[in-house]
Amino acid sequence: MSIFMKSIFLIIACCFLRSVSPNSQTYNAIFSFGDSLADTGNFLILDSSAFPVIGKLPYGETFFKHPTGRCSNGRLIVDFFAEAYGLPLLPPYLALKKGVKAEHGVNFAIAGSTAIAAKYFYSKNITILWTNMSLTDQLGWFQEVKAKICATQKDCREYLKQSLFIVGEIGGNDYNYPYFLGGSIKQLKALVPAVVETIIKATSVLIEEGAVELIVPGNLPIGCSAVYLTLFGTPNKAAYDNNGCLKSYNAFSKYHNAKLKLAIESLRKEYPHAKIIYADYYGAAERLFHAPKHYGFSNIFVACCGGGGPYNFNYSARCGHIGSKACLDSSSFVNWDGMHLTETAYHHIAKGLLNGPFTSPSLTFPPIKQI
């Protein structure tokens, strides 16, 4: 072999090793916290009386072919994360009592959950909460699980060191409940510091418990959701951006996200050994509304499942209730039931997070397979 050929061979070999070596390791478990954007069944097991339809078709119809307690027609962002890392889909915490194993992670998220404790909202006469459970309760569940899965402190340290923690999305319901009862954007802005502080405090608790790599997501562009467009829509064209979303409500999401990112920066200084990743859910989702055809969407604001109205969201005939029906091809829709997104939308968001550029910094271990 000539010197030239040997050089070429060595260059190719080095490039190959460089490309595969990051995948030689991966996360051994994922622990998820949050609300209905991440819940894989806790709310359904806990108490589904406030939203019983998630236990019936058409919820879960596409991938699972049956309802699972997920607030969508199929998989969620956290499901795509598990698949990308070759892990089983995360069981809901409340399923552990039925003998489900927790070795590859657990999902503590609860649909309807708030970041701030429920008693705060009751003190403000906000009584439409789906559940009394908050992020604090989810942390308590994690501490229970940790005590069971770790034989020794050393074992726990090593196990959690290679586990990924996804702290949210959470906080959306802290704003949804007051908004739906007529709260103004100005009033809700005053709540942002408390919501962000609660998320940051929970993240610090997890780090103290041994978490080393954590994802903290921001909020989605709520001004693009069918429920917000229905409730707060206006004939004033100036209220909408070029995508057709409500500008002021999207600006609110950006405000929350900006405050969250600043708080994460401070937390990184407090815990320099931990990798705290901001996940830009807003940016990953906004692409779907800005260039829908590029992602195969022909319906971006109208809900796939609902009971009529300009955006197919009718509170008296919500998805799964009498008078509602589901679309035939959910893959062409971004909105699922007006409040949540379709599996296809979550898939694109997950890809933007896993493959970039919507996580900052990027994940330590790239996904072991494409989703």
Catalytic residues: 36, 337, 340
Find the farthest-apart pair of alpha carbons in the chain and give their distance in angstroms, rounded: 81
Bridge partners for 278 per DSSP: 216, 360
Helix residue spans in 291-363 (DSSP H): 343-354
CB-based contacts of 270, cutoff 8 Å, min separation 6? 204
Closest CA to 180 of 109, 111, 249, 282: 249
Alpha carbon distances (Å) from 41 to 45, 262, 326: 6, 32, 21
CB-based contacts of 204, cutoff 8 Å, min separation 6? 267, 270, 271
Contact at 8 Å (CB) between 203 and 167?
yes
Structure tokens, 347: 């898939």
Walk across the sheet containing 275-279 and list its strands: 105-107, 29-33, 163-167, 213-217, 275-279, 359-360
Contact at 8 Å (CB) between 37 and 88?
no
162-163-169 Cα angle (round to 5): 145
Q: 3-state class of 227 per DSSP?
A: helix
Handedness of CA 330, 335, 340, 345 (dihedral sign): positive
| Residue carrying structure tokens 């910094």 | 361
CB-based contacts of 21, cutoff 8 Å, min separation 6? none
